[in-house]
Amino acid sequence: MSIPVNLPSDTGVYDVVVVGSCMIDLVSFTPRLPKAGETIHGHKFLIGFGGKGANQCIQAARLGAKSAMVSKVGKDSFGDNYIQNFKSNGVSTDYVGQTDEASTGVAPITVNDEVKTIFNPAPAVADLDPEFYKETDLFCCNETEAEILTGIEVSNTEDAAKAGSVLLEKGCRSVIITLGAEGSVLMSLDKRAPRYIPTRKVKAVDTTGAGDSFVGALAFYMAYYPCMELEEMSRRACDIASVSVQAQGTQSSYPHRAQLPQELF
Ligand SMILES: Nc1ncnc2c1ncn2[C@@H]1O[C@H](COP(=O)(O)OP(=O)(O)OP(=O)(O)O)[C@@H](O)[C@H]1O
Ligand SMILES: *[C@@H]1O[C@H](CO)[C@@H](O)[C@H](O)[C@H]1NC(C)=O
């Protein structure tokens, strides 16, 4: 069955017409992502209405727009439910077709519990709420911030290790203190000995935003290489931040993936 295309000639009938997909989200919550072919236990499951086009249409309708969706779903229970969902949200389904030649689109989504958080206490305040130390997976700060938070003046790797121990005592699980041209120091509860991560010797032109480049790179590795050792992530983030200091500006100095060595990925 095809989607009727005879939109009323009076186009003022709808304020918002969305042409797009309707998807049923099948969301599994698991302690981690399964490897290919592996079966793991999840602890929660939910079915939701999704699909970019439909989401936009529902949001517009909920804000009061007279809305219609142009889409096609399967002649199956997901499709029936979806049409009902549009109706409950006041979206016209006059142009939502149902076909028995294909099933309604589904989006199996796995949400792992390992969505990590990085806390960057910038600008630092001495009376930082203690929850921030305990609730984040990785606490990442520079020399100045480490000093404000711990009272220990940080100008070299030994100082950073002392400040790092104080931050671990405050409840941090992992701490990275960046030291500019000296790289960074990593410490964690399970491996308390400070690990010194040097950065590349480069000709620095403008170090503005190097810290943000470092944190952004770390976030990238945490999200896309969850099994990588934090030490390796820090090493690569240092490499990337050291590229950013070799050009003027903040974001303008941040490298793109294609400009970086393949080994970093
Ligand atoms: N002169 C430099 N040479 C090489 N790498 C550098 C240099 N300065 C900074 N970096 C890299 O950037 C990382 C973060 O730098 P830094 O500790 O200066 O952060 P920051 O003080 O928060 O920076 P900013 O406040 O300027 O954004 C360092 O760990 C290092 O990898
Ligand atoms: C550390 O970051 C703060 C912002 O929180 C900044 O004001 C300060 O200059 C930075 N310190 C160093 C040594 O770059």
Is 239 one of the annotated active-site residues of the chain?
A: no
CA distance 249 to 208: 7
Q: Convert the pLDDT of each residue in 188-233 to its tens digit.
A: 999 889 999 999 999 999 998 899 999 999 988 887 888 899 999 9
Q: What separation in angstroms does the CA of 19 have from each of 5, 10, 51, 80?
A: 11, 18, 11, 18
DSSP 8-state symbol, 170: T
Q: Whose CA is nearest to atom 17 of ligand 1?
A: 180
Ligand 2 atom nearest the C-alpha of 124 is 5
CA 214 / ligand 1 centre spacing (Å): 8
* Residue among 142, 182, 208 to mutate when testing ligand 2 (max atoms within 8 A of CB): 142
147 lines ligand 2 (CB under 6 A): no
- In sequence order, the 6+-apart residues with CB closer than 8 A to the CB of 65 are 15, 16
Ligand nearest to the CA of 251: 1
**DSSP one-letter string for 89-135:** TTEEEEEEEEESSSPPEEEEEEEETT---EE---S--TT--THHHHH
Ligand nearest to the CA of 241: 1
Task: Spell out which residues line ligand 1, taking CB within 6 angstroms.
Answer: 142, 178-181, 183-184, 199, 202, 204, 207-212, 214, 238, 241-242, 245
CA 142 / ligand 2 centre spacing (Å): 6
CA distance 103 to 23: 10
Ligand 1 atom nearest the C-alpha of 212 is 27
Q: Convert the pLDDT of each residue in 16-61 to its tens digit.
A: 898 999 999 998 999 888 888 999 999 999 999 999 889 988 998 8
- In sequence order, the 6+-apart residues with CB closer than 8 A to the CB of 154 are 143, 144, 146, 147, 160, 163, 177, 179
pTM of the model: 0.70
Does an H or E element contain 30, and which? Answer: strand 23-30
Q: How far is CA 213 from the centre of its chain?
A: 15
φ/ψ of 143, rounded to 5, equals -60, -50
CA 180 / ligand 1 centre spacing (Å): 4
182 lines ligand 2 (CB under 6 A): no
Assess whether pLDDT exceeds 70 at residue 11: no
The single-letter code of the amino acid at 191 is K
The single-letter code of the amino acid at 265 is F
φ/ψ of 215, rounded to 5, equals -65, -40
Share of the chain above pLDDT 90, in %: 71
